[in-house]
Amino acid sequence: MTKFKIPMYKSTFTKHEAKAVYDTVSKGIIGTKENVKKFEKKFSSYIKAKNCIAVNNGTSALHAALLAVGVKDGDEVIVPSYTFISTANVVLYERAKPVLVDCDARTFNVTAEIIEKAITNKTKAIVAVDMAGMPVDYDALNEVAKKHNIPLIADSAESVGAKYKGKIVGTQADIHCFSFFLTKNVSVGEGGMISTQNSEYAEKLDILRTHGQTKRYEHKIVGYNYRMTDLNAAVGIVQLGKVEKMLKEKVKVANKYSKELSKVNGIDVPYIPEYVTRHGWYLYGINVKGSRDDMQKALAAKGIESEEGFKPVHMQDIYKRLYGFKDSDLPNTMKAFTKVLNLPIRQGLKESEIDSVVKNVKQIAAKL
């Protein structure tokens, strides 16, 4: 494995997370108890949501959300192709059909117009993704969802701390699903959170994550073991306390990148719509008009790690076999995958490292 001088990611765990885990272990039996409830309460307070349900990962959150709104065999669920594959896979869990749609050419998020064209009488849910940490236009999407009486689920795995029209992401859709994977803005190693303002959804989600159990050994529905442990929650509580400081650092890095690279020929910096008050900056992706792969290789030769985005769902072999997709079917998604290169934007980047990234991107772009 290549060792980079400036890697994309570094753990943000410190002695404070370690102490929280040790303190939890020292108490004896570890389950889904005090820490989980405390983490749910603190996360609810942070995003201003009525209900938060902690789960073991973001994929479980998405699956449970589909079950909560009643997705079943034969239904259709609209999903953007430009996303991590779990967003679509959870639809297949229920033998429903993921209707894969294109993204906007500038934001790389889905739009209300794209969604509405894909709605049929079989559409049971709409899933929108806050790609790279940038919120979708929730007001526009909600207008379409309500017009057709279809629940809107937000895959907000990458947008913890992002703001839409001045408000923290987490209450805009019917259900939001967050991820606390190792590289996310809040990390517990593996974990997730579901937020909703709907008490009926919240009650069902709580039951679904615990084997369909309403009380000890009483099971009313088919459920799953999607519970978060107190160990993970202990880390989450510490991490949540640091998220605002971390986001300030990321915003600062993103602003410098955009300022320095916006006038570089052959590169487009991220487009930020007015409705995005604060980008979550899970990723900072430049659009390389020349060879993105050559840019990536040249940066690696200088010791700078960079990454392409997720391979779109419609380009994955399993989805080609199931639904006959061609790579060219969704042109904006194809462009995002082949042209966007993500630069380091983690917490703890030194000024000298940021300057090195900028300097090398400029030099390489001039040669492409």
The answer to whether the beta carbons of residues 12 and 310 sit under 8 Å apart is no
Q: What is the pTM of this model?
A: 0.96
Q: Which of 223, 240, 257 is the last residue of a domain?
A: 240
Please report which confidence band the pLDDT of residue 2 belongs to, taking 50, 70 and 90 as the band edges. Answer: low
339-349 pLDDT tens trace: 999 999 998 99
Q: Among the three residues 194, 218, 240, which one is the final residue of a domain in this structure?
A: 240
pLDDT reported for residue 3 = 85
Question: What range does the domain containing 336 cover?
Answer: 243-367
Average pLDDT of the residues in 166-191: 97
**Average of per-residue pLDDT across 268-275:** 98
pLDDT tens string 13-38: 999 999 999 999 998 777 668 999 99
pLDDT at 235 over 60: yes
Nearest to 330 by CA among 92, 108, 96, 62: 108
pLDDT at 30: 77
pLDDT-derived band at 368, boundaries 50, 70, 90: confident
Tell me, yes or no, whether 145 lies in a domain: yes
Residue recorded with tokens 């967050």 = 178
For 159-164, what is the mean pLDDT?
98
Question: What does the pLDDT look like over 186-204, one tens digit per residue?
Answer: 999 999 999 999 999 999 9
Cα 319 off chain centre by = 21
Pick from 185, 208, 240: which residue ends a domain?
240
Neighbours of 275 (CB within 10 A): 15
The rounded mean pLDDT for the chain is 96
Q: Do the domain assignments include residue 7?
A: no
> Do the Cβ atoms of 309 and 283 come closer than 8 Å?
yes
Is residue 185 located within the same domain as residue 251? no
Indicate whether 229 and 251 sit together in one domain.
no
Identify whether residues 194 and 309 lie together within a single domain.
no
Q: Is 211 exposed, middle or buried (0-12, 13-18, 19+ CB in 10 A)?
A: middle
- Whether residues 217 and 292 share a domain: the answer is no
9 domain residue, yes or no? no
Q: Are residues 298 and 363 in the same domain?
A: yes
- pLDDT digits over 93-121, tens only? 999 999 999 999 999 999 999 999 999 99
Query: Percent of the chain having pLDDT more than 70?
Result: 99
Beta bridge partners of 177: 155, 194
**What does the pLDDT average to over 167-179?**
98
**255 and 234 both lie in a single domain:** no
pLDDT of residue 33: 83
Q: What is the mean pLDDT of residues 297-310?
A: 97
Domain shared by 88 and 134, yes or no:
yes
From 187, 306, 233, 185, select the one nearest 52 (Cα to Cα): 233
First-to-final CA distance of the chain: 26
Residue 225: the pLDDT is 97
Residues 343 and 214 in one domain: no
Residue 57 CA to residue 155 CA, distance in Å, equals: 12
Say if residue 236's pLDDT is above 70. yes
Report residue 265's pLDDT band, with 50, 70 and 90 as the boundaries: very high
Same domain (yes/no): 71, 121 = yes
Q: What is the mean pLDDT of residues 56-73?
A: 98
Domain identity same for 264 and 216: no
pLDDT value at 1 more than 60: no
| Res 271 pLDDT > 80 | yes
Query: For the chain, how many structural domains are there in total?
Result: 2
Write the CATH number for 348: 3.90.1150.10
Mean pLDDT computed over 293-316: 97
